[in-house]
A and B are shown apart, each in its own frame.
Chain A
Amino acid sequence: MRNVVVGTEAAAVAGLRDGHVVMVGGFGGAGLPRSIIKAVAELGVRDLTVISNNAGAGGDDLSLWFRQRMVRKIICSYPRSAKDFTLQYRAGTVELELLPQGTLVERIRAGGAGLGGFLSPVGVGTVFERGKEKITVGGRDFLLELPLRADFALVKGRTADTLGNVTYNKAARNHCAVMATAADIVTVEVDRIVEAGGLDPESIVTPCIFVDRVFARAVA
């Protein structure tokens, strides 16, 4: 029977290499896979393109990657109050692609759903329309938004079963559930792993077809 449980942080992030595109779930601290973020920092990889809502807040989050100069570019919606990112942004050593948050998550959804993109009214008439094709449908202007995919998606769940089905805790679901559909390798950090059949099927938010690895961090 399928079993995607990995026993160590290192195994959770094995194969993550220089130049990879990496999605990291979370909104602020909720849904942030802190153990595997740390494991990636220990790999010491470079030139990553990171796709995440925020850019760290100075703790054991994406700040670790910026401090070690592992990131070449970040695609996000709100990189403020992110001290370590800000230092590099101001020095011009990291590139920022700023997106409205709904556009960010929908581009990821499109990537995971096999769509070639979508038309969004968000950003029309603002700086966010720059470089984007404008298409008029029914008399209204839309921007063509292209899909986003990644080599790795690192997300935080609450409970997984050994097959890789995942539940989330409260508002920690945020971008995690969508990112889990849009990467070649999806690694989910959870609080607890149960046997297949141990989850209420109605409570499963990310079905195991999307999940390649689950890792249970040690819960204090």
Chain B
Amino acid sequence: MNPLNRQALARLVASQLPRDSFVNLGIGAPTQIADFVAPDAGVILHSENGILNMGPAPRAGEEDPDLINAGKSPVTLALGGAFFDSSLAFAMMRGGHIDVAVLGAFQVSRRGDLANWTTGKDDGEPPGVGGAIDLAVGAKAIWVMMDHVARDGAPRIVSDCTLPLTATNVVSRVFTSLAIIEVTEGGLLVSAMLEGAEFDHVQAATGAPLRLAERVGMITADGTLIGRS
């Protein structure tokens, strides 16, 4: 059993976005979710640089330097799209108008604390935070999408984050390469696992105690969720 790859994980998250919701996809891996959102799902994408109803990347030769996403890559405007200034873009976040933000993370704690803006290590560049904190504090639901463990095998779901925090107590759901984990008052609950994965294996790769939900869905290798709505 191999962990879900990025594409399959993006497909999985896309399939769980509520219909007709306003969604912000974080820079990095979450950006790819847009490629898997069904056209009839009615999902409206928000971008921190002042776009609502952001569309896919343009065809080669049709890029507009004034129409870029938060990662500064060229995008298009979908039907009914709108532009606005950065103050209003962030008011949409802080004001709780975004239904779901899907973010990458370095660590998530058992209480839903999020560490995703810096590793705190010197990588040769100055630190940059961008809109990570505003988004994590303001969106109605914060979902995290990440590999279950770090490159060195260290758990990324931990009892307490050791990296600089983005926000405390904000993550409600974590989609990893092995499982879907809900952050609840009673702790971390596994609501779905990758086909062939054993609970003990997922627990061993996790730095905080897990419990199985009453009904546990199965995630196929291509990122389809079976057995949960």
The judgment on whether A and B are partners is yes
A interface residue numbers (CB < 8 A to B): 27-31, 53, 55, 77-82, 85-86, 89-90, 96, 98-103, 105-106, 108-109, 120-128, 168-178, 205
CB distance from A202 to the nearest CB of B (A): 14
3 nearest A-B residue pairs (beta carbon): A102-B90, A102-B134, A28-B72
Beta-carbon contact of B128 and A169 below 8 Å: no
Q: Is B216 interfacial (CB 8 A cutoff)?
A: no
Q: Known contacts A101-B48, A170-B77; is A109 also within 8 Å of B129 by CB?
A: no
Q: Identify the closest chain B residue to A32 (Cβ).
A: B65
CB distance from B202 to the nearest CB of A (A): 28
Which listed segment binds A: B10-18, B81-89, B149-157, B204-212? B81-89
**New A-B contacts (8) at CB < 8 Å, excluding given A27-B86, A101-B134, A125-B165:** A53-B86, A100-B134, A101-B130, A102-B90, A123-B133, A124-B137, A173-B50, A205-B85
Q: Identify the closest chain A residue to B125 (Cβ).
A: A80
- In the complex, what residues of B have CB within 8 A of residue A30's CB? 49, 65-68
Beta-carbon contact of A126 and B167 below 8 Å: yes
Beta-carbon contact of B90 and A173 below 8 Å: no
- Chain B 85-107: CB-based contact to A (< 8 A → 1; otherwise 0): 11101100110000000000000
* Between-chain CB contacts (< 8 Å), 24 pairs: A27-B72, A80-B125, A85-B126, A100-B129, A100-B132, A101-B90, A101-B134, A102-B48, A102-B89, A102-B133, A103-B134, A109-B87, A122-B134, A124-B167, A124-B168, A125-B168, A126-B133, A126-B167, A170-B66, A170-B67, A170-B77, A171-B83, A173-B84, A174-B85
Beta-carbon contact of B129 and A99 below 8 Å: yes
Would you list which residues of chain B between 109 and 133 have a CB under 8 Å from chain A?
124-133
A102's partner among B72, B77, B93, B128 (CB-CB below 8 A) is B93
- A133 vs B18: C-alpha distance when bound (angstroms): 38
Beta-carbon contact of A171 and B129 below 8 Å: no
Q: Is B56 interfacial (CB 8 A cutoff)?
A: no
Which of A29, A120, A122, A169 neighbours the largest number of chain B CB atoms within 10 Å of its CB?
A: A122
Beta-carbon contact of B85 and A78 below 8 Å: no
Q: Is B20 interfacial (CB 8 A cutoff)?
A: no
Beta-carbon contact of A29 and B65 below 8 Å: yes
Q: Please, how many residues of chain B have a CB less than 8 angstroms from a CB on the other chain?
A: 39
- A176 vs B127: C-alpha distance when bound (angstroms): 23
- A181 vs B144: C-alpha distance when bound (angstroms): 36
Q: Known contacts A77-B129, A78-B129, A102-B134; is A170 also within 8 Å of B64 by CB?
A: yes
- In the complex, what residues of B have CB within 8 A of residue A172's CB? 66
Q: Known contacts A98-B128, A122-B94; is A27 also within 8 Å of B85 by CB?
A: no
CB distance from A169 to the nearest CB of B (A): 5
CB distance from B74 to the nearest CB of A (A): 10
Beta-carbon contact of A80 and B166 below 8 Å: no
B127's partner among A98, A122, A123, A169 (CB-CB below 8 A) is A98
- In the complex, what residues of A have CB within 8 A of residue B167's CB? 124-126
- Chain B 23-67: CB-based contact to A (< 8 A → 1; otherwise 0): 000000000000000000000000111110000000000001111
Q: Is B164 interfacial (CB 8 A cutoff)?
A: yes
- In the complex, what residues of A have CB within 8 A of residue B66's CB? 30-31, 169-172
Beta-carbon contact of A122 and B133 below 8 Å: yes
- A82 vs B83: C-alpha distance when bound (angstroms): 27
Q: Identify the closest chain A residue to B165 (Cβ).
A: A126
Q: Identify the closest chain A residue to B113 (Cβ).
A: A125
- A108 vs B47: C-alpha distance when bound (angstroms): 20
Beta-carbon contact of A127 and B134 below 8 Å: no
A77's partner among B77, B83, B87, B128 (CB-CB below 8 A) is B128
Q: Identify the closest chain B residue to A127 (Cβ).
A: B164
Q: Known contacts A27-B49, A28-B72, A173-B50; is A122 also within 8 Å of B137 by CB?
A: yes
- In the complex, what residues of A have CB within 8 A of residue B51's CB? 171
Q: Identify the closest chain B residue to A27 (Cβ).
A: B49
